Amino acid sequence: MLVIMHNKSKAAGTSTILRSNVKATINFKSNTEKNELTVSLKSNREGIMKLFIFSTEGILINEVAVSARNITTIKGLKKGLYFYECFDNNERMKSGQIIIK
């Protein structure tokens, strides 16, 4: 006995929309004359998030509160490579590296 099944649901003919898993976008801008790093955050979430900046050795250099509504300025970072992680409560929103020239 041969059984043939045919899917007549509306979902069968629609294309799948792939959604990005990017939870936040962080932009950094370095001002070497003032020894400042400005941080702007874009996220669909409201509220304050924590941005952690680490040395290449994994030592915590700075911890700052950031939000999508404000530009945050960090002072005192020397030239070099840093790693960052941004958290909303216990959920990692974004991580990456910063190069200050």
**DSSP letter for each residue of 51-98:** EEEE-TTS-EEEEEEE-TTS-EEEE-PPSEEEEEEEEETTEEEEEEEE
Provide the domain count of the chain: 1
Point out which residues pair with 62 in neighbouring strands. 53
Q: Is residue 52 part of a domain?
A: yes
- Residue 44 is given by DSSP the state S
Q: Which domain holds residue 69?
A: 23-100
Confidence of residue 4 (pLDDT cuts 50, 70, 90): low
* Distance (Å, whole) CA 24 – CA 68: 9
Q: Is residue 66 part of a domain?
A: yes
pTM across the whole model: 0.74
Q: What is the pLDDT of residues 20-59, one digit of tens each?
A: 455 789 999 998 888 899 999 998 888 899 999 999 999 9
Q: Can you read off the two tokens belonging to residue 6? A: 């045919």
Q: Can you read off the two tokens belonging to residue 51? A: 């941005």
Q: Is residue 5 part of a domain?
A: no
Whether residue 77 has pLDDT greater than 50: yes
Q: What is the CATH number of the domain that holds 83?
A: 2.60.40.10
Q: What is the pLDDT of residues 59-68, one digit of tens each?
A: 999 999 999 8
Angle at 29 (CA atoms; ends 23, 34), nearest 5 degrees: 145
